[in-house]
Structures are given as structure tokens and as C-alpha cells.
Structure 1
């Protein structure tokens, strides 16, 4: 997962090391942003496994080979257990952190539906006069700015 290797495709290898390596966290760095109550909230390092399987909580456990390759990140040698899932085509095109996960259950479909039908952004503003006696009807302003969609209707 670190990529095809430093010699086979040095540019892709450098992008994986630069953008797609998690951490180091845990015992290597307890002050990392991902640390919650003494462990990584993203469950890194992942374990080596021969096959991709459907994991607990709808996230898959991706195949991670123990090919003994490492990359130096933050002063530590990290292996495939620390690589965030990626698509090499997207990584090469955008030269940016692009996390790629498999969505394969009903929770993912519900999330995507809710996200797509979220509605447009809204802004509420008021032009006020210097008159101290001008009242604002906050309740009607809130009701006028509300958005009801099929996702929110129960």
C-alpha cells in the first residue's frame, strides 16, 4: 500500500509518504491531534491482513501486506499499517490527501442521500436603524428562514 516502491514509481511513492501516511501517533507521539484517551481515534496502526473483509461499524478492513517496506515520517519508520486508503490515479492527479473508502451498506446510502439533499446555504441579516424603539420579531424571522425537505420530514 505504500505504493509500487521507491524504484518502480518514485513520484507516487513520494506522494503516498507525503499525503497518505497517518501519524505517527500512539506511543510514538501522544500529542497528535488524533489521540483520544490514550489511543488513536482512527484506530491506527491497522493490522496486517491477507484479504479485504467487511469490518465492524461498516468500515472495511483493507488488505495490508507485510512486505517489510517502510517510510520515514516524523522521524519514525512507518510501514503499511499506517497508510490511509487511497486511489493512485486521484493522488497523482490532485497531489493532495484523498481518502478513498468503500461504501457498502445502508448507512452509507442514507448518509449520501442526506448530504445530497441538504439544501442550499442561508444567511439572515438585518439593516438596523438608530431608533432604539424598533423591535425585531426573531420567531417569524426564524420561521421564514427555515428549510423543510423530504429528508427532515418524519
Structure 2
């Protein structure tokens, strides 16, 4: 993790701070996934191999779109794929834009990264994607058991306050404009008044959201701390799971049944947990992190700072 972080910081030193932090999450309702599993009357947890293959293809196409400049001419990019116990993978992507395409004005930010519910009549496809994939929660008092709730508060700070004018904070994300919609809105069997509807919208890009029909959150960066966050969060270590081994009965020859008691030492096991999708992605050797530029480590070191390889059976003091 440390080497990957240092390589990324070398790219940042060369090309400048990231301008966009993009997060793409796999959508189990993608038509290609549904078409593959519906014929066998299965659900996406039953076929992690299909989810892994489709996710890899979608991610590659998204990276190609970014390289071609759908968000502006690209100087450099970094990405890391993360897995959680919920099973579906998501990718964190950092983008450094060319000087002439940097997001310097409020109008440009509001156009590229809106944070409001689109009009259902003029753009029904985008409306459906935003409603189904880009709405946070509900959490807080409406759903105190939501996964984002910590000590009675949403750790992602939703619902966000309405913002009449886009503004930026040093070393934080830009607060994108969130205006009050003219009328009440109803979706997901819930009715939102015009004072709260846009407070739950996650910043998105209209083109990418409509094309990929999944959760693609876009944040405008104002600092470089997000580089450390991206690698520290993705490589923090595997999730764990507590396994309990219960006694079972086994039938022997002659019809007798014998009760097998597990070893008391291994009755409980605190083990590493890897989701089925992550296992499939690693088995088919898909890349889970990458950079637009290669970083070459020079064979130079400071005094007493060179690398030493030690065998497990050797004494560190003797070495």
C-alpha cells in the first residue's frame, strides 16, 4: 500500500492535484446481468462470476471514456477497486485535468456535476437513473438503522443543506448548488416535499449516469488528501467474519448414527472474509488498481535505508 501511495503522489507532484474524485458502483440491475441470470431463475448473489465479468467490462469502458476526455482533457488518472461485505465492487478514480479544462467557474461545475433531480419529462432515462441510483438514504430519523448511521448521525452528513450558490472549501469537496424544486416529488413509494428532495441527491454527471445506469458519484477536489484516503481505505485489510462450528450427526454402516463433536479449540474461528465477487475477480486475474503513468523507482537510498531480505528462520539480531 505504501509503495502504491508513493507512486500516486509522484504522479500528483508531476501533474498537479486531482480535480475530480469519481466513484462507480456495480449495479446488479444492469440488463446484461439480469438477462444472464433470469433464464436460470437466479439472483446476482448466485452468480458472482457473471457480476465480476460484467463489472470488469463496464469499468474498462468507463476508463476509456475518461481517457477520451468526456469530463475534459485528461493529464493523469488513478483508480482502485474496493470490495465490501455487501458484495458489489466499486471503483475510486482520481482525475487530473489539463489546465484549460479545469473546473474554475460555478457555471461549469453546475453543468458538469449537477446535484439536483433532473426533469422527468425532458429526460426520463436520466431521471430514472438518478432516482434509483443517486439518492442517498433515507437515513436519520426516517431510518435510524441505515448502514450509514453512526452514533445516531449519518457519517456522510445527509441530508445535505440546500445551497443556492456553489462554493468551495479548502482541502474539502466543493459544495454543489442544491436549489429547492418547484413542486413535491414522489418516488420509491415516498413523497418528498420541495424543501427536502434535493437534499438527498448525490453529485453526478448526466452523461455518465445516463450511459452506465449505475451509481457514479463525482466530487470536485480542492486538495490532495483524497489520494491518501483512496489507498488507505482500499488496502486497510480484509474484512473478518466469526465462524462457529457446531456438532453434527453422521450415519455409519449398519444404520447407527454417531454424533461428532468439534474440537473445542477450533469451535470458533475468526477468519478473513472475501466476498464471492472479489474472489471471482481475483481468480480471473482482473486488475484492481491502476495508473495512467508508470512510476520507475530509482535504485537509490539514504544511509542505512537500503532494503534487506531476511528469511523467517533467521535471527534479526544476527542479521
TM-score range, shorter chain: 0.5 to 0.7
More strand by percentage: 2
For this pair of structures, how many residues does the alignment match? 120
Indicate the residue corresponding to 1:21 in structure 2: 135
Assess, with a 3 A threshold, how the Cα gap between structure 1 residues 30 and 111 changes in structure 2: closer, same or farther: closer
Shift of 1:6: 1.0
Indicate the residue corresponding to 1:91 in structure 2: 209
More helix by percentage: 2
Matches within 5 A, 1:5-84: 5-55=119-169, 58-69=172-183, 70-73=185-188, 75-77=190-192, 79-84=197-202
How far apart, CA to CA, are the structure 1 residues paired with 2:158 and 2:231?
Answer: 29
State which drifts further: 22-31 or 70-79: 70-79
For the pair 1:2 / 2:117, whether they are aligned, the reply is yes
How far apart, CA to CA, are the structure 2 residues paired with 1:38 and 1:56?
Answer: 28
Q: CA-atom RMSD, angstroms?
A: 2.8
For the pair 1:140 / 2:255, whether they are aligned, the reply is no
Indicate the residue corresponding to 1:124 in structure 2: none
For structure 1, the residue ranges without an aligned partner over 5 or more in a row are: 118-138, 142-154
For the pair 1:100 / 2:215, whether they are aligned, the reply is no
For structure 2, the residue ranges without an aligned partner over 5 or more in a row are: 1-115, 233-288, 292-309, 313-319
Assess, with a 3 A threshold, how the Cα gap between structure 1 residues 8 and 20 changes in structure 2: closer, same or farther: same
Shift of 1:33: 0.4
State which drifts further: 52-61 or 78-87: 52-61
- Give the number of the structure with larger relative contact order, counting CA–CA contacts within 8 Å between residues 6 or more apart: 2
Structure 1 runs of 4+ off > 6 angstroms?
Answer: 112-115
